[in-house]
Amino acid sequence: MYPPEIRAALAAHTTLTLAYADAQGPGACAVLYACAPDGSLVLVTSRSTRHGGALAADGSVAFTAQADGQDWLSLTGLQGRGRCVLLTGAQRDAGWAAYLDRFPFVGTDPRLGEALRRTDLWALRPDWLRLIDNGKGFGHKQEWPG
């Protein structure tokens, strides 16, 4: 599992910028994510979108997560690489539970909840993460695996 500082940084954000490549070239999109107990990041997107098609075809991604409006001296955020896999069966159920725990409004809005339940659910499984924390000194980095 990730070091406590990286787990805390992942938990502190809800949106990541997902970078991918397909036959049209590189692309990026913003997606909401939830942290699952197994360390994966759970996200919802349809295979009919460009990025969903890229995930279904290859699954290799890079990503960042950070808050807007930070200044240089206190800037924090994450960079990462990994693979997205489509969740099915019990893994989908567990991923959906993590997503609803992070975003309870999805479960309380019948139209939104039903629409998202019909959409593909993915687990982004990082294989490399870098935490940037300028509050600990300009350019301070912590990597996993280290």
95: closest CA among 85, 105, 110? 85
Percent of the chain with pLDDT over 70: 99
Domain hosting 127: range is 4-137
* Domain of residue 45, CATH code: 2.30.110.10
Specify the number of domains making up the chain. Answer: 1
pLDDT digits (tens, 9 = 90+) for 3-60: 999 999 999 999 999 999 999 999 999 999 999 999 999 999 999 999 999 999 999 9
In a domain, 142, yes or no: no
Q: How far apart are CA 44 and CA 120, in angstroms?
A: 6
In a domain, 143, yes or no: no
Greater pLDDT, 135 or 127: 127
In a domain, 146, yes or no: no
Q: What's the whole-model pTM score?
A: 0.92
Q: How far apart are CA 88 and CA 19, in angstroms?
A: 23
